[in-house]
């Protein structure tokens, strides 16, 4: 078995009285698309910043390509970290940003960058500080894709894109990944939009990893059971319930865990409805007990700006 691209062991990060990362351990394998999911202030950006040597751990260890990434040019030249709040020099235009990227990333594909700029209708000669939020997002995702870095992090830079442009990004990412595989980490609040892209899911909540599994294994790990309250209660007795809603005599429950064929037959005989749980709902239900409501995540998905993501422990 090959050595993981990233190995994180017992990682902690404190900001005064805030514990942003709480003994986090994980590994990222070569040539796989990961989803790093969780609510705001869960620790996602802090974790990615440390893995890319843009932040410091309070304790624990990080190895990238088998080495410590800090001040390690050999490692850092193989990493691309694109974040929503990406900064560029005031006098830069997109063409300047691409030229700078071409110097830093050894796998840079300028032809791909120019083709993507045309696809995203990006004004190449306009100063970046004069670009709209969507155009600024396009600059980031183009650099992330055209860098073809062996390890690429996208920390929600595509939130500024409209729905059509986001779909364009997803399509181009999958197409280029198929031809040039690498390890990609997507952090996103648009969970159902990116769900089909993800091969492995990592959910972080209050600085702790609560789910770390292949996407295929997660599908079906939770189910919705709906029907009359008395029958739902009888059927779900003794099971872990992630969420419960009741309206009059009717009740809907989200169960943690898959149902066996026999259990599904039992539910059918009781007149209960069994339904799947989307990845977004799975994340909501897994983190709801610490104050995340479905409305919170819906609002984030519809376009939260950088002001809603301020704070030391992202």
User: Which secondary-structure segment (H or E) carries 197?
Assistant: none
Confidence of residue 269 (pLDDT cuts 50, 70, 90): very high
Measured in degrees and rounded to the nearest 5, phi and psi for residue 154 equal -115, 105
- Domain 218-301 is found in CATH 3.30.70: yes
User: Is 60 exceeded by the pLDDT of residue 111?
Assistant: yes
C-alpha dist (Å) from residue 183 to 172, 214, 243, 248, 250: 15, 14, 34, 49, 45
Measured in degrees and rounded to the nearest 5, phi and psi for residue 273 equal -100, 130
User: Which secondary-structure segment (H or E) carries 24?
Assistant: strand 18-28
As annotated, the residues of the chain forming the CATH 3.30.70 domain(s) are 218-301
Measured in degrees and rounded to the nearest 5, phi and psi for residue 301 equal -65, -25
User: Any idea which residue has 């009717």 for tokens?
Assistant: 250
User: Is 90 exceeded by the pLDDT of residue 252?
Assistant: yes
As annotated, the residues of the chain forming the CATH 3.40.50.300 domain(s) are 6-214
Give me the pLDDT at residue 28, please.
97
**Mutual orientation of helices 94-104 and 110-119 as an angle, nearest 10°?**
150
pLDDT tens digit string along 176-192?
A: 999 999 999 999 888 98
User: Any idea which residue has 């209050």 for tokens?
Assistant: 206
Give me the pLDDT at residue 304, please.
36
Distance linking the first and last C-alpha atoms of the chain: 33
- DSSP annotation of 67: B
6-214: CATH homologous superfamily? P-loop containing nucleotide triphosphate hydrolases (3.40.50.300)
pLDDT tens digit string along 24-75?
A: 999 999 999 999 998 888 899 999 999 999 999 999 999 999 999 999 999 9
pLDDT tens digit string along 89-108?
A: 888 999 999 999 999 999 99
Question: Which two three-digit tokens encode residue 253?
Answer: 């429950």
């Amino acid at each position: 078995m090959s050595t993981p691209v990233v190995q994180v062991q017992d990682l902690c990060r404190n900001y005064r009285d805030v514990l942003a990362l709480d003994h986090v351990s994980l590994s990222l394998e070569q040539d796989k698309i990961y989803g790093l999911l969780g609510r705001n202030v869960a620790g996602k950006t802090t974790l990615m910043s440390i893995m890319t040597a843009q932040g410091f751990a309070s304790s624990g260890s990080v190895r990238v390509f088998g080495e410590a990434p800090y001040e390690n040019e050999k490692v850092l030249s193989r990493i691309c970290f694109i974040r929503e709040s990406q900064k560029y020099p005031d006098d830069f235009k997109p063409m300047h940003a691409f030229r700078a990227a071409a110097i830093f990333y050894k796998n840079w594909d300028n032809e791909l960058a120019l083709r993507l700029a045309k696809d995203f209708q990006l004004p190449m000669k306009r100063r970046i500080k004069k670009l709209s939020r969507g155009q600024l997002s396009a600059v980031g995702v183009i650099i992330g894709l055209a860098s073809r870095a062996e390890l690429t992090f996208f920390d929600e830079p595509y939130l500024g894109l409209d729905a059509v442009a986001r779909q364009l990004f997803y399509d181009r990412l999958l197409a280029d990944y198929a031809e040039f595989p690498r390890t990609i980490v997507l952090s996103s609040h648009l969970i159902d939009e990116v769900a089909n892209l993800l091969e492995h899911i990592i959910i972080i909540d209050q600085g702790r990893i609560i789910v770390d599994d292949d996407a295929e294994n997660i599908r079906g790990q939770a189910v919705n059971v709906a029907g009359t309250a008395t029958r739902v209660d009888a059927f779900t007795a003794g099971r872990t319930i992630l969420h419960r809603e009741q309206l009059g005599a009717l009740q809907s429950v989200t169960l943690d865990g898959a149902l066996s064929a026999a259990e599904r037959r039992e539910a059918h005989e009781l007149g209960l409805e069994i339904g799947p749980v989307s990845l977004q709902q799975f994340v909501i239900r897994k983190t709801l007990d610490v104050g995340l409501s479905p409305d919170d995540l819906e609002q984030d998905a519809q376009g939260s700006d950088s002001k809603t993501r301020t704070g030391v422990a992202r």
